[in-house]
Structure formats: structure tokens, C-alpha cells
Structure 1
Amino acid sequence: MAFNQELEALTHAFSGHGVDEKSMVTLLGKWDPLERESLRKKTPHMFTEDHERHFQKWDDHYVRLLKHEFVRFKNAVVLWTMHPWERDARFVKEALKKGPNAYGVLIEIACTRSSEELLGARKAYHSLFDHSIEEDVASHIHGTERKLLVALVSAYRYEGSKVKDDTAKSEAKTLSNAIKNAHKKPIIEDDEVIRILATRSKTHLQAIYKHYKEISGKHLDEDLDDLRLKETVQCLCTPQIYFSKVLNGALRIDVDKNIKKAVTRVIVTRADIDMKEIKVEYHNLYGVSLSQKIEEVAKGNYKDLLLTLIARA
């Protein structure tokens, strides 16, 4: 392979989700000092030239990005081997530390886990952090979304199959009226809306979702402008579509490191649950298989682990 081809291959190995460790070792290990200098000069997005002192130095921002890419495989292995309760508890703690941009993770955990799984996460949180999830959510979140989020993480929903269809139809009308009157009162502050979303079984909520479409002609989440309520409805009523959208957004090359983390989180947590259905929805939405997208974007051992996990379904 000519040097320019090797340089292109190495640059490619550094980009994307994860790092292609095998390519790096193969190529860098045999390069002499002049070839390594050529790498530095020909990759200005990775190295900056100090013209006064006549040398090329790593770009600090790129070094930070690379550090995150190098650890993706390690983090995925740690999360995969972790007890699901502990995993969810740590995701909640991290989301609270990161602030509003990460609060969607709280909704994801509260609304896509079974009642027993969410209870387990709350137990693990007690053990790990000597606080309750409810306590920390209430004390860390101060906006209008606090009431909704506290209610969601506190939930212990009925998981049977029985649904009172008349009640579901009535509550669909309640949601429709709340949306129509949102100019008078923000929906996220409506106690009836929060009661319905935080206490009803997922089977009941899916019936509400169906009746809402019959009433308004649109899906409930399409009519919701509030991001937290939209995420809540999607996680409760159409979780596989929700996860497909999260994965697609996180598998874009140009997203920041925090969004990229969603790839590991979703694949590790759903591999044994509903990955088969997520793969179907992903293909329906984007016209390409999830495994093909990962092949295109991810690198090295990290890519191999992701592909192994989604192949379990």
C-alpha cells in the first residue's frame, strides 16, 4: 500500500464511533519518523502547526475526542457485564449531573422499563448513592418538567392486559382538550395529563394513543410541542420507533460525544429485550439495516461488539 493510501486509511481509522485499533497498530507501528511527520503535516484537523517553533502539535480538541473514542469499547464492555439495575441507576445519576440536555435519558429509563425493572433501578440507586432517585430528581430539576419527571420515576404501573376502553377513550379526549387549551395552560403543568402518563398501564396508554388518532387525525406525540411530553409518549407507546430515532441521531458522524453515547446505551440495554423489533423499525424508517449503518460508521473492536450484540436478536 502506498504511503498516501496508508495515510488515508489511518485517518479513516481515527474517525467515527470508536477507533480501529488494529489498523492503527498495523500502520503506525511500521512508520519511520519522516512518515509520522508527514501524517502531522497532512492532517491539519488533527495537528496544528507552530510556525514560530517549527513543529506540529496535536489539536487539544481532537485529543479529547480521540480519548472518548478509545474508551467506547471499554465502556460498552463494562455496561454489558453490569447488572441492569446498576446500569440504569448509573445512567440516571449521569443524566442528573449533565443537566437538561440529558433529561430524556430519565424518561427513557422510567418509561421503557417494566415496573419491576424500574423498581430494581431505584433499589440500586439507594445502594450506590445513598439517596433515592425520586429525591435526586426532585432536588436537581427546577423547571416545569420536574413534576412530570418525579411522577415518571416514581411509577409502578399495572402490567396486566385489561383495559377499560371507555376510560381510555375519555382520557384521550382529556389529552386532546389539554392540547387545544395549551395557550391557556402549559400541558406539562396539567395535573390530569401527568396523572394519565405517569400512572396508567402501557396497554391502557396504547389504547389512548389509538383513540387520540381517531379523535384528532394525528398521533398524540405529533400534536405535542413539549419535548419531554413527546419523549414520554413515544417511550410509553412506540418504544421501538423511539429507540430507532435515538440510534439514527447518535450514529451520525458529526454529533457530539454525549449524543454518540446513546449508541452504546441503547444497544446494550435493548439487546436482550426488543432489539429484533428495533431493527425492523429502523429499516422501515431509514431504508437501511441497523447492522449496515454500524458497519459504515463504527470502528474496530467497538464496532465488532455492537454487531455481536444486535445479532443476538
Structure 2
Amino acid sequence: MAGRGTVKPQSGFNANNDAQVLFKAMKGLGTDEASIMQLLIARSNAQRQEIKAAYKTLHGKDLVSHLKSELTGKFETLIVGLMEPPTLYDAKLLRNAIKGAGTKEKVLIEILASRTSNEIRNIIQTYKNEFGHNLEDDVTGDTHGHFEKMLVILLQASRQQGVQEGSIQSDAKALVNAGEKKFGTDEEQFITILGNRSAEHLRRVFTEYMKISGFQIEASIEKETSGKLKEILLAVVKCARSVPAYFAECLYKSMKGAGTDDDTLIRIMVSRSEIDMLDIRSEFKKMFKTSLNSMIKVDSSGEERKALLLLCGGDD
């Protein structure tokens, strides 16, 4: 997977020079947003952290605070997001999704269903360091029922490794018996199996499930469950099949229909830009017969659009 991002480290990088360019772009009247955007998107996240340090040393100012004071709206959200170390970015997104009025379950689902066990463990640690809270306590204080159980299992970040040949058949049967074969649904089985097995194991289970039941597992989940539990189970299944395809679908949904869901669009473009944006783009094209690039052009405007197009890194 390495190197499937659109954002790469800049060669011949010089943090002090970059800090000077950014300072000039924000000095005096008016802000040169184009320079800020082009510079920051052409650097890796690790390089942006070095620029942040150099900026403080040279100008005695916090770069992010300075950017916040000069930029506005969704463009500000995007640029500030790019400046966060990835794990801290995820931790802050989760914190904002939980605190305040009403939980943004969508954010919890998207992050916890798609991140690796290692990433989740790092997020939990960063969350604790940053907010002095236990992420699991915050999540359980704000969610309930089977949805909460599934989130808690994902937060354990203890998926089995590899494929358990001996239990492919029995897992598939257990899922069929818990759903298609049962009057009512045994949600616990779905939660336990989908929450604890590796992606490669689950892909084999889904194939077996289809053989036994005649249904794709997604169709059964749609039929057998509802609400937030349905959303998180589907997200976990989709991520087990293909994380880039999952994000391609999330991006598509954020732009189709009336009004763009800018927060989702920015969140995914920022967090996947160095990981698998090239794969997301190719899945997007395959699934929706249009390029991510052309859809962003139609669905966003101004500086935010230019920045998103840079993160998208070209047309397919």
C-alpha cells in the first residue's frame, strides 16, 4: 500500500525557506491563499510538522494559529486539517464528533471501521494525551445498544491476524443462522464475527456466506438490521472488502444530491491524501463511471475546490 497517496514528501525540502514563504503570504494586507495552499499540499505531513517548528523559531508565532487568523470557512478547515499530525487529526475528529450537541455517528463509524488496529491503538493513546479522557468511556457515554457494542469491539483493536481456515465455514454458518435463517436477528453474532476477524478472513467468510445463503452479506445486513448498527456493520464489511472502495463511496455520497457535505469531503481527502488516494480515485472511476476530479470540480467552489483538486492529484 505504501506510496499510494497523491501527496508525497518534497525533495530538496527546506523548512526555513518554506516558513519564510508562508510568513510573506500572510504579512500585510490580504492573504496570498494560493501560495499557502500550493506550498502545504506539495509537502508531506512530516514536512509540515518541521515547517511548523521552523515558523515558531523564526517568527515566534504558532503557524496554525496564524493560519486560522488569516483564513476562513471550509478552506481554513482544510488547511488546518493538513497541519495536524494524522493520528491527532483523527483524535480531534472523534472528540468533536462526541462532544457538543448530538453525536456525529457518521464520523465515529468512518474512522473506527476503516483504521488498522495499530492506528486505532495510536489514536486511543493520542486522545488520552490530548484530552485527558479515555476514548472508550467517551464513546460509551454517548452511544448505546448494539451500536455501542460494535464501537467498543472496534476500539479493542484486537482483530485476529490472518485467516483461520478452520472457522471460515462455521463463521459463515453462524452468520446465516443469526440472520437469514432466524426469525428476528441475532445481532451479537454479527458484531462478534465482523468485529474480531481479519479483513482477509472476512472476505473468505463472505464468499462462503453467499454460497450457503444465496445472498451477499451486505444485502442481509440491509434487511436484518437498521439504524446506526446497520451503518456500522455495512462500513466494516465494505472496509474488509476494500478500504479504498469504501472511501470512494463515502466521497460520492458526500457530493451527490442536494448540497455537498463539505466536512466529509475534506475529512477524507485530508486523511487519505498520503495513504491511498490513488486507489480511491481508481475505485471511484470504476464504481461511478466518472472521475473524482470532475465531481469535485462541480461540487465545491473557490479556494476549497482548488485545494481539494490538488489533494485529488489529477484526473483519471
The TM-score normalised by the length of structure 1 is 0.70
Decide whether the 8 Å contact of 1:168 with 1:211 is kept in 2. yes
Q: CA 1:307–1:177 in structure 2 vs 1: closer, same or farther (change >3 Å)?
A: same
Of 199, 208, 212, which residue of structure 2 is paired with 1:211?
208
The yes-or-no answer on 1:233 pairing with 2:237 is yes
2:305 and 2:258 map into 1 onto residues whose CA distance is 17
Q: Deviations over 1:177-196 (max 9, x none)?
A: 11125533x443x1x32221
SS of corresponding position for 1:140:
coil
Once the two structures are TM-superposed, the CA of residue 157 in structure 1 deviates from its matched residue by 2.6
Residue in structure 2 matched with residue 134 of structure 1 by the alignment: 136
Of 269, 273, 277, which residue of structure 2 is paired with 1:271?
273
Amino acid at match of 1:255: G
1:182 and 1:263 map into 2 onto residues whose CA distance is 39
Once the two structures are TM-superposed, the CA of residue 105 in structure 1 deviates from its matched residue by 2.1
Of 59, 76, 79, which residue of structure 2 is paired with 1:77?
79
Q: CA 1:122–1:260 in structure 2 vs 1: closer, same or farther (change >3 Å)?
A: same
1:222 and 1:100 map into 2 onto residues whose CA distance is 29
The TM-score normalised by the length of structure 2 is 0.69
Q: Deviations over 1:191-214 (max 9, x none)?
A: x32221222112211221222222
Residue in structure 2 matched with residue 168 of structure 1 by the alignment: 168
Once the two structures are TM-superposed, the CA of residue 267 in structure 1 deviates from its matched residue by 1.0
Which one has a bigger Cα radius of gyration?
1
Residue in structure 2 matched with residue 37 of structure 1 by the alignment: none
Q: CA 1:97–1:265 in structure 2 vs 1: closer, same or farther (change >3 Å)?
A: same
SS of corresponding position for 2:215:
coil
SS of corresponding position for 2:99:
helix
1:247 and 1:260 map into 2 onto residues whose CA distance is 10
1:114 and 1:296 map into 2 onto residues whose CA distance is 32
1:75 and 1:91 map into 2 onto residues whose CA distance is 12
Once the two structures are TM-superposed, the CA of residue 100 in structure 1 deviates from its matched residue by 6.8
Unaligned runs of 5+ in 1: 1-20, 23-68
Residue in structure 2 matched with residue 40 of structure 1 by the alignment: none
Aligned residues: 240
2:77 and 2:212 map into 1 onto residues whose CA distance is 45
Moved more, 219-228 or 123-132: 219-228
Q: CA 1:145–1:264 in structure 2 vs 1: closer, same or farther (change >3 Å)?
A: same
Aligned-residue identity in percent: 29
Decide whether the 8 Å contact of 1:119 with 1:156 is kept in 2. no
Residue in structure 1 matched with residue 159 of structure 2 by the alignment: 157
Q: Deviations over 1:233-274 (max 9, x none)?
A: 223333222212211111136237xx3311001111111222
Decide whether the 8 Å contact of 2:74 with 2:262 is kept in 1. no
Of 195, 198, 201, which residue of structure 2 is paired with 1:198?
195
Q: CA 1:200–1:144 in structure 2 vs 1: closer, same or farther (change >3 Å)?
A: closer
Q: CA 1:303–1:123 in structure 2 vs 1: closer, same or farther (change >3 Å)?
A: same
1:140 and 1:174 map into 2 onto residues whose CA distance is 30
Residue in structure 1 matched with residue 116 of structure 2 by the alignment: 114
Q: Deviations over 1:154-190 (max 9, x none)?
A: 223345xx31233122201111111125533x443x1
